[in-house]
Structure 1
Amino acid sequence: MTKLFEEFKQGWQGVSQPSTLFATGFALFCLVLATATRFGLAQIRPDVFFTPYFPAVFFATAFGGFRTGIATAIASGALGVLVNFSGAEVDPARFALLMIFWTVCGIVIWGVAHYRALVAQQREVSKRLIEEEQYRRLVVDELQHRLKNKSSTIHAVLHQALQDRPEVWDRIDHRIRALSATDDLIARVDGYGCDIRDMLRSELGPYGHVRFNLNGEQLFLPAKLAVSLALIFHELATNAGKYGAFSSPRGFLQVSWTVDDGRLNVTWDETEGPAIEAIGEAGFGTKLLKSALRPFDGKTEISYLKTGIHCTMQCQVPPG
């Protein structure tokens, strides 16, 4: 019984085609039910010959496919002509109603069969997309695992090489760990999102927590926006470490953010950094900063001031 119910469920949902015997049995059940309904209606309206069979044709087609629907329509027409529940004789008018009935049944069968085909096609596309997503996640997880192993190997090699220079190791150990934490954070936000403050602390931590100040309310970023902002913050922090505020002993960074009417405004303000003498041609990092927020109706503007880089970011916060 459970097997029959499962076969019925899969056939009705269009997952698989039911067996010919099962489809025929279901069509016969629909015909019997429609005929019984017609008998009941005949007690009130004797001239109802074909109307009760429309649901039978519809359900038989939806379950067994267009062939079952055509067979049910032919059988329904024959029953409507040959079976009488009153003293009415078969006349040309009934044959005219039969032609109309079969015409409407043809439209119904075509519509149901077309819908079944579309559903089957969408189900196949969804199945393929799910398989591709599972494969992508498998590849990403494997890549993240290998990157984590490589980071651990680099950490171990440096520790071994600097065993006789503990003061140097103490200065770089926490930075390597913070960079690894940032990589883990980016990996996690791909699926869930994260808080902007946690992201900034993870990215800026290697440069010392007294070198920056974060000003803004708690804000949870959806996954896609979090990844884009993580890339931007990483690029800005790297530049600050090489050429900006973090490359100077007295350099300081102020990052603040607000949300107004669903739009995020972030300000990156460096002070006490080395003077910027010349600005070279825009490289990959600059192009990344300019384009990363476009999918969120956003933009990034960078100003090279005497006190340091001043960067503003604006974008729409998508629903989580």
Structure 2
Amino acid sequence: MALETEQQIFARKRLGWRRTAPGMASLALFGLVALSLLAATFLIFSTVRAERAERVQVAQTREVLEALREITTATLNAETGQRGYIITLDRRYLAPFQLGAASYPTAMRRLHALLDPAADARQRALVARVEKLADAKFAEMAETVSLVDDGRIVDAEARLLSDEGQQLMTELRATAGELEAIEAGQLRRAASDTLRLEGRMAPLLAGLLLLILGALVLGLWQVVRGARAEALAATAQDLSAARDRADLLAGELNHRVKNLFAVVLAIVKMSGKGDPAAKPAIDKIAQRLHALLRSHEVTQGDRTRPEIDLRELVDTALEPYRLDESRGRIEGDPVMLRSHLAVPLGLVLHELVTNAVKYGALANGDGKLAVSWRHEGGRVRLIWREEGAKPVAPSGDEGFGSMLIGSSAKQIAGTIERHFHPTGVEVTMDFPVK
């Protein structure tokens, strides 16, 4: 009798582990999705920060270039007036000289105010060099004008022909040009950093979509594991409890994924609050996340809805990529599907969309996608056709995506066939509506 009791205890422990394992896997995937969403949030913040830094650098570069132009313009105006006065002795030429001499100090102070707080050693040296050359040039011009005023015209002309002023002006232009080149280089680096961060956004969002697909697959796996656990139950009560637990785990996973989306959406919207310039980027990111959330909700299947529109299922799978009419065409008869078909069909559509984004028609700007279906005799025939992309030939080994499609075909009691052609791929699905 004691031996029988020990066997029963061992069986109960084994059954308990089988029931607990799916929950542990769910928590592991939940942690992975959470980390990915946190990474996405960090990248969003980094992108917004880089765009803000680029805007600041653009304004800084523009103002520095304007200050340098004001300095060189003031010097040229003064030189024009100086030479005209020496040659013609007409005091009207002193007006541009005096204007340049008056505007130069203001432009120099502006250049110091712009660059001194954050300038590196080379920039500070160049600013000091510009100031030294400009001061020397204005001193040389003021001296020649003073010589003319004193009647020493020959001395003034000799000083003018000494090439001292020309050499100062040449060095001033070269120094200002080097300073402009440094500012332009900083602007290019800021723009490059922004483009690099923006380039990471699309792959990360695609990765999030794949993780959500993994969550759906795990939910399906949990249901299968739950069914096996139910088979070990000794009584009808144990069987019912195991089924309820599997449903609870799947529902909890969906609930947590939705909560994570809600948190990330709130963080994204808060990150752009008070920054009107960042609002377009924030709105675009929020729209993508909303589309991913709606895709998750529809393809997971809603138990409160006995039927789901096939058009809604297809539109939701493609919504994150917002294809225009020139690249995407979706058409078909009105078809209402039983809700239990939404999950396997949604998984297949997500697998096709993922492959199209990675390798097919959606991987470049020239590809085209057409999805059409017909409803005849209680069955639906759906054709997914991609054009304008190099097809990926099937390998000898069956990958996870192929296994997923094959498993989904069995669940919908239909067939799914793929045909590769020179410009893309065509997938044909045939399944009963009820």
Q: Distance in 2 between matches of 1:201 and 1:243?
A: 20
8 Å contact from structure 1 (residues 189, 227) kept in 2: no
Give 1:136 shift. Answer: 3.4
One of 326, 332, 338 as aligned partner of 1:222: 338
Which position in structure 2 is the counterpart of 1:201?
315
8 Å contact from structure 2 (residues 418, 426) kept in 1: yes
**Structure 2 residue runs without a partner (length 5+):** 1-233
Which position in structure 2 is the counterpart of 1:276?
391
Q: Distance in 1 between matches of 2:432 and 2:392?
A: 34
Q: Distance in 2 between matches of 1:277 and 1:205?
A: 24
Which position in structure 2 is the counterpart of 1:181?
294
8 Å contact from structure 2 (residues 307, 337) kept in 1: yes
Amino acid at match of 2:249: V
Which position in structure 2 is the counterpart of 1:307?
423
Which position in structure 1 is the counterpart of 2:95?
none
> How does 1:229-308 map onto structure 2 within 5 Å?
229-272=345-388, 274-276=389-391, 278-280=393-395, 281-308=397-424
Shift of the 218–228 alpha-carbon distance from structure 1 to 2, 3 Å rule, reads same
Shift of the 275–188 alpha-carbon distance from structure 1 to 2, 3 Å rule, reads closer
Shift of the 244–165 alpha-carbon distance from structure 1 to 2, 3 Å rule, reads farther
Give 1:131 shift. Answer: 4.1
Give 1:165 shift. Answer: 4.7
Shift of the 229–125 alpha-carbon distance from structure 1 to 2, 3 Å rule, reads same
Which position in structure 1 is the counterpart of 2:247?
137
Give 1:158 shift. Answer: 4.8
8 Å contact from structure 1 (residues 276, 304) kept in 2: yes
Give 1:212 shift. Answer: 2.3
Amino acid at match of 1:265: R
Once the two structures are superposed, what CA deviation does each residue of 1:215-257 show, in whole Å capped at 9, x if it has no partner? 1111111122221111100111111122211222132211111
Q: Distance in 1 between matches of 2:266 and 2:420?
A: 39
Q: Distance in 2 between matches of 1:186 and 1:276?
A: 26
- Alpha-carbon RMSD across the aligned residues, in angstroms, is 2.7
Give 1:209 shift. Answer: 4.2
Give 1:128 shift. Answer: 5.0
State the structure with bigger RCO (CA 8 A, min sep 6), 1 or 2: 2
SS at the partner of 1:313? strand
Give 1:176 shift. Answer: 1.6
Give 1:290 shift. Answer: 2.5
Q: Distance in 2 between matches of 1:212 and 1:302?
A: 19
Give 1:143 shift. Answer: 1.7
8 Å contact from structure 1 (residues 253, 270) kept in 2: yes
Q: Distance in 2 between matches of 1:311 and 1:220?
A: 21
8 Å contact from structure 1 (residues 291, 299) kept in 2: no
8 Å contact from structure 1 (residues 190, 227) kept in 2: no
Q: Distance in 1 between matches of 2:281 and 2:358?
A: 19
Amino acid at match of 1:177: H
Q: Distance in 1 between matches of 2:362 and 2:349?
A: 14
Q: Is 1:152 aligned to residue 262 of structure 2?
A: yes
Amino acid at match of 2:288: R
Give 1:166 shift. Answer: 4.4
Once the two structures are superposed, what CA deviation does each residue of 1:131-152 show, in whole Å capped at 9, x if it has no partner? 4444333333222111111222
Aligned length in residues: 194
SS at the partner of 2:402? helix
Which position in structure 1 is the counterpart of 2:25?
none
Once the two structures are superposed, what CA deviation does each residue of 1:156-211 show, in whole Å capped at 9, x if it has no partner? 44556677754544443322211100111134435533110011111111111424
TM-score normalised over the length of structure 1: 0.53
Amino acid at match of 2:313: M
8 Å contact from structure 2 (residues 356, 362) kept in 1: yes
Which position in structure 2 is the counterpart of 1:112?
none
8 Å contact from structure 1 (residues 290, 301) kept in 2: no
Which position in structure 2 is the counterpart of 1:105?
none
TM-score normalised over the length of structure 2: 0.40
Please, which moves more after superposition, 227-236 or 202-211? Answer: 202-211
Identity of aligned residues (%): 30
